Structure 1
Amino acid sequence: MPVAAQEHAHAGHDHAAMHGAPASAPLQAAVSGDWRSAANAARDQYRHPLQTLEFFGVQPQQTVIEITPGGGWYSEILAPYLRGQGHYVAAVVDPQALPAGGGRDYQQRTRDGLEKKFAGAPALFDKTTVVAYDPAAPVLGKPGSADVVLTFRNVHNWRASNQAEGMFRAFFAVLRPGGTLGVVEHRAKADVPADDKSGYVGQAQVIAMAEAAGFKLEERSEINANPRDTKDHPNGVWTLPPSNTHDAADDARYKAIGESDRMTLRFVKPRP
């Protein structure tokens, strides 16, 4: 078992014990599903989807919005898990909200790829909704319509684009009172400036952003921690797997480190 998995130590109390049971059979079945790509499943040792979704308290009857799912790594788990009783919403950047150029083209390719993935496997994704939002004025759905909002390794991008505050306000607006915001992000050693290029963010900074939007930190976890990550790589987090932006001669070195050290934070939207 990887070090990060061994160091699954929650602050306060154990989430599974709090809910009176280990991870549900449906969640385990979704993580173990043979429809998941081999490349995606190979990253479970670093991303710990079973423990992460359990920690966030995701239940099969909930409406869950994932922010910018990228290639659909978590979609392969969440969509089938929620398909029977709940609702999986993939929130993507609206390419038409961006000026013409490379940024718009990238977001269009990303959206097209995700929608092609969904269309190609209706047994998994036929009940999935794709919501496109303007990152400068994000609206993710009807106010109070979601039970859970999840974001994986996105905060550094929003900070660099001066969009983080607006995104966290959008999360707060779309969640029902008592709803959950789950955040996983590359963790810096300390606070970093907004224009930092490393991809890492200070944990205290993420907590402060969420609290400024109205959230309350409920619990933090070390599920996705990696103490081998020294966080001083020449190309930031992208030096490490899965990006592997490094010289071939250094491959063994960075493979031994594994993926980045990550914070895992669970926030709640307070009830009135």
Structure 2
Amino acid sequence: MPRFHASLLASGLVVAFAACASTTATPADTATATTQADAALDAAIAHPARDPKNVARDVHRHPRETLGFFQVKPDATIIEISPSGGWYSEILAPYLRDAGRYVAATASAPADSGGGKRNAALQAKFAAAPARYDRVQWLEYDGKAPMLGAPGSADVVLTFRNVHNWVAAGTTDAYFQAFFAALKPGGVLGVVDHRARPGTGLEAMKTSGYLTEALVIDHATRAGFVLEARSEVNANPKDTADHPNGVWTLPPTHRHEPGDAAKYAAIGESDRMTLRFRKPAR
């Protein structure tokens, strides 16, 4: 090889190596990014624009620990399934606004139905506070055959206290298959739901709103997910899961006799499973 060409090649390799080295994240860089992401999440949770009624439930829903367990990052694309009144939207939408993407995915419903009214109320909530919600993406899907946008487009799919509704409706497998399709390889599915005692029968689960972890894990693994971890962050050992009106006996629904208010308030919200599933990378 001519000396001139060899010199150019050598200098090019040095420049290329230096460029690669300069863009490689160091442990310190990673730690800094994590600290900044944690601080941003804390700020979203502590923001004064959150509804005080929602803030009062932080003690039961543990948003900081739950979202941390689900490995939520500010630059992620996150689909939340059936956000209802927007409890988690108040946290996730501002947290993801600058670098990520928050998708509020809800089943379409007639305007005069309960579901339709909830959807309209949530959209009105978003429209009323553009500084927080102007970049929310709204996705409506068929509740019997859900599709959640382009395949492989999401980093994380989150569902909070929804699976028991799908079990009652017989649509659970369709939902978990939709989650699997929507997630990128290696993506996370985070599930929180009311927890039944092991061995509880299917009919009892349908009427009580409490599900066994085994049932949820079975539906998820059938769809292709791998159970990666469980957390007890949303556990409540005071909850016996055997109330006269199922989980709706407890706060926040309070479906009980007026004289039992103190009894159920002392129990608090339901005992809940918190499960992290992973879509295999290959």
Q: TM-score, normalised by structure 1?
A: 0.88
1:121 is matched with which residue? Answer: 129
2:18 is matched with which residue? Answer: none
Asked whether the 8 Å contact 1:192–1:201 carries over to 2, the reply is no
Task: Identify which of structures 1 and 2 has the higher relative contact order when contacts are C-alpha pairs closer than 8 Å and 6+ apart.
Answer: 1
2:140 is matched with which residue? Answer: 132
Q: Paired residue for 1:24, among 38, 63, 68?
A: 38
2:234 is matched with which residue? Answer: 224
1:10 is matched with which residue? Answer: none
Asked whether the 8 Å contact 1:178–1:269 carries over to 2, the reply is yes
Q: Paired residue for 2:278, among 259, 268, 271?
A: 268
2:169 is matched with which residue? Answer: 161
In the alignment, does 2:217 pair up with 1:207?
Answer: yes
Per-residue CA deviation, residues 151-178 of structure 1 (Å, 9 max, x unaligned), is: 0000110011010000000000000000
In the alignment, does 2:192 pair up with 1:178?
Answer: no
Query: Does the residue aligned with 1:150 lie in a helix, a strand or coil?
Result: strand
Question: What amino acid maps onto 2:186 in structure 1?
Answer: G
Residue correspondence of structure 1 range 80-159 to structure 2 within 5 A: 80-95=94-109, 105-159=113-167
Shift of 1:271: 1.0
Asked whether the 8 Å contact 1:147–1:175 carries over to 2, the reply is yes
Whole-angstrom CA distance in 2 between matches of 1:39 and 1:135: 28
Shift of 1:192: 3.0
Would you identify which runs of 4 or more consecutive aligned residues in structure 1 move more than 2 Å? 19-23
Shift of 1:125: 0.4
Whole-angstrom CA distance in 2 between matches of 1:192 and 1:31: 37
Whole-angstrom CA distance in 1 between matches of 2:266 and 2:54: 19
Whole-angstrom CA distance in 2 between matches of 1:193 and 1:220: 22
For these two proteins, the number of residue pairs brought into alignment is 248
Query: Does the residue aligned with 1:130 lie in a helix, a strand or coil?
Result: strand
RMSD: 1.5
Query: Does the residue aligned with 2:197 lie in a helix, a strand or coil?
Result: coil
2:6 is matched with which residue? Answer: none
Asked whether the 8 Å contact 1:87–1:128 carries over to 2, the reply is yes
Asked whether the 8 Å contact 1:66–1:90 carries over to 2, the reply is yes
Residue correspondence of structure 1 range 56-95 to structure 2 within 5 A: 56-95=70-109
Q: TM-score, normalised by structure 2?
A: 0.85
Q: Which runs of 5+ in 2 are unaligned?
A: 1-29
Query: Does the residue aligned with 1:245 lie in a helix, a strand or coil?
Result: coil
Bigger helix fraction: 2
In the alignment, does 2:58 pair up with 1:44?
Answer: yes
Query: Does the residue aligned with 2:48 lie in a helix, a strand or coil?
Result: coil
